[in-house]
Structure 1
Amino acid sequence: MQTKKRDRLGRAHSNGYKAGLTGKTKEKCPYQNTDAKSEWLGGWRDALTDKNLGLFKL
């Protein structure tokens, strides 16, 4: 049970990271569940930080 939950949240984080790298706004978050939405936004913020540090040039 824990593995499925972790994978789902990890996937939400990954999708948020990808969205952040492509320049999508945080309002485009597809999740309604509080935990998944939190993970997605965390990934989105991480991507913006990485872009601002110059790790990615898109």
Structure 2
Amino acid sequence: MKRQKRDRLQRAEALGHKAGLLGRSRDDCPYQGLNARSSWFGGWRSAMNERAEGLFR
């Protein structure tokens, strides 16, 4: 049975979250499409908020 791929927008958000936790700049977004780019930024923003609250170092 074939495995279904994850939703591309979910993947973009997860990668943005990971980049935010690593402290990468928002200019490092690899996506050009509007929807994927906004999902990446959403994940990045949530990770930066978590870092500001002290949840991650």
Pairwise same-fold verdict (TM > 0.5): yes
Query: Taking structure 1 as the reference length, what is the TM-score of the superposition?
Result: 0.86
Q: What is the CA deviation profile of residues 11-41 of structure 1, one whole-angstrom value per residue up to 9, with x for unaligned ones?
A: 0000000000101100000000100000000
Q: Give the RMSD, CA atoms, in angstroms.
A: 1.5
Structure showing the higher helix proportion among its residues: 1
1:1-58 alignment, distance < 5 Å:
7-57=7-57
- Number of paired residues? 54
In structure 2, the gaps of 5 or more residues are none
Structure (1 or 2) with the larger CA radius of gyration: 2
Unpaired segments of 5 or more residues in structure 1?
Answer: none
Task: Give runs of ≥4 in structure 1 deviating > 2 Å.
Answer: none
TM superposition shift of 1:56: 0.7
